[in-house]
Amino acid sequence: MWFFNSPEICFGEGALSYLAQLHGTRAYIVTDAQMVQFGFADLVKAQLAEADIETRVFAEVEPEPSLDTVRRGAELLRAYEPDWIVGLGGGSAMDAAKAMWALYERPDLSADGISPLEYLGLGKKARLVTISTTSGTGAEATWGIVLSDPQEKRKLGLGSRETLATLAIVDPALASKMPPRLTADTGLDALTHAIEGYAATWRNDFSDGLCLKAVDLVFKHLPTAYAHGDDAEARERMHNAGAIAGLGFINSMCSLAHAMGHSFGGAFHVPHGRCVSLFLPYTMEFAANRGNYRYADIARFIGLDGLGAEQQTRQLIAAVRDLENGLDSNTTVASLGIPRADYAAAMGTLLDHAENDTQIVASPRQPDRAELEKLFWYAYDGKPIDF
């Protein structure tokens, strides 16, 4: 038995105006200070005002939102009693909105208790709208929640199928002003979701097509969106790709690159998309070295024409590296300026947190601790390593 979950998705030019058709009384917009500064919060408020929905804004979500922020937000929600919660921004704002929604409806829960094993009974007080202003986290279309626990310097992977938005707005206009670095980081996150979602051991017939399509969209449109941010078609297709990859992986699973990326990002504060895409080709090689050539399907789908599955797999891994280099992204840990000694000092924690990350369970090849350490070192400088 398995499930396929998706919010209602309103996408394309003008999608934001669909907010004016909602029915409700009060909406709490969960976002960050930049979204207010860019005028996006006002755009959302204006649409909701047309629907006679009163609004209030919580603009205190920080990157890598903490448990404390979520708890504080949930208290404000309980005082305001909204019937809509709107998560507006990148993955951080939308994830914070999901967690605050859960704690608003279930004050008895602790934030780290938002898990697939717990019946939450959400939706009695409010519904959730997610509006993405970046193209790639997929958070608008997924129920996953990543929060940080600053005391323990680690990231928490939370969420349950119930923390899926009721409605996701995928309007490319909101992502059209992203600077190139953010475009690349978030777009490569989408690529990692799609490739990992396709290769994960939890893959299934419902998620496969979404993952393939998302990989193809990223290869075709991310270089243009990065180099020519005013290219409307590239922006729109990448905005779609982010949501499609989100749907793909949340109905399958991510795997090793996300486990390593979460662990590394939590320790060294590197943006999520940069981390997971940095580790991606190494983890693909790791799986391929034991004869996992499922990546060959992706290679063929995007038009790589090697002879046989092994060659196609190697071609895809090379294509991922070429794409990342073309986007001036980091393909080694050393290129981020992290000294070898600091990395070595953190290695025990990196391994612990990666091994305990929820995403590791669906890896196409499960590493033992020694192999995981080798992989972390391989990604340090890219010097070939035997595994």
User: Both tokens of residue 194?
Assistant: 């799609």
Cβ distance to Zn ion smaller for residue 53 or 243:
243
Is 64 among the residues that bind Zn ion (CB under 5 A)? Answer: no
- How many residues sit close enough to Zn ion to count as binding (CB under 5 A)? 1
**DSSP E strands: which ranges in the chain?**
8-11, 26-30, 54-58, 84-89, 127-132, 145-149, 154-158, 167-170
Pairwise CA distance, residues 21 & 232, whole Å: 26
- CA-derived radius of gyration, the chain: 20
Q: Map the footprint of Zn ion across residues 69-128, applying CB under 5 A.
A: none
Q: Name residues whose C-beta falls within 8 Å of residue 383's C-beta, 6 or more positions apart in sequence.
A: none
Minimum CB–partner distance for residue 240 and Zn ion (Å): 17
**CA distance linking residue 108 with residue 105, whole number of Å:** 9
Q: With CB under 5 A as the contact rule, which of the stretches 14-22, 32-40, 63-71, 188-196 interacts with Zn ion?
A: 188-196
Distances (CA, A) of 204 to 197, 198, 252, 359: 9, 8, 7, 16
CB atoms within 10 A of CB 70: 26
Does position 189 interact with Zn ion (CB under 5 A)? The reply is yes
Rank residues 185 and 189 by Cβ distance to Zn ion and give the closer one: 189
Nearer to Zn ion, 45 or 258 (CB): 258
Cβ neighbours, 10 Å, residue 308? 9
User: Cβ closer to Zn ion: 82 or 265?
Assistant: 265
- Cβ atoms of 164 and 268 within 8 Å: the answer is no
Closest CB 276 distance from Zn ion, rounded Å: 5
Q: Could you tell me the smallest distance in angstroms from the CB atom of residue 237 to Zn ion?
A: 19
Residue nearest to Zn ion (CB): 189
Query: What tokens does 276 get?
Result: 């997971």
Residue 258 tokens, joined: 């996300």
Cα–Cα distance list, 78 to 93, 101, 104, 247 (Å): 18, 10, 6, 30
By CB under 5 A, is residue 357 in contact with Zn ion? Answer: no
Which window, 77-85, 181-189, 240-248, 289-297, contacts Zn ion (CB under 5 A)? 181-189
Nearer of residues 142 and 312 to Zn ion, judged by Cβ: 142
Only segment of 106-114, 189-197, 216-224, 285-293 that touches Zn ion (CB under 5 A): 189-197
Give me the least distance between CB of 258 and Zn ion, in Å please: 6
The DSSP code for 335 is G
Question: Under a CB-based contact definition with an 8 Å cutoff, are residues 334 and 314 in contact?
Answer: no
List of residues 6+ apart from 311 with CB closer than 8 A: none
Nearer of residues 189 and 216 to Zn ion, judged by Cβ: 189
CB nearer to Zn ion: give 82 or 246: 246
Question: Shortest CA distance to 273 belongs to which of 378, 355, 191, 383?
Answer: 191
**Could you tell me the smallest distance in angstroms from the CB atom of residue 20 to Zn ion?**
31
In the complex with Zn ion, the residue whose CB is nearer, 127 or 193, is: 193
If the CB atoms of residues 47 and 137 are measured against Zn ion, the closer one turns out to be: 137
Secondary element (H or E) of residue 144:
none
Least distance between Zn ion and beta carbon 222 (Å): 15
We find the least distance from the C-beta atom of residue 261 to Zn ion, in angstroms, to be 7
Question: Min. distance of Cβ 286 from Zn ion in angstroms?
Answer: 18
Output the smallest distance, CB 60 to Zn ion, in A: 23
Residues in contact with Zn ion by CB under 5 A are 189
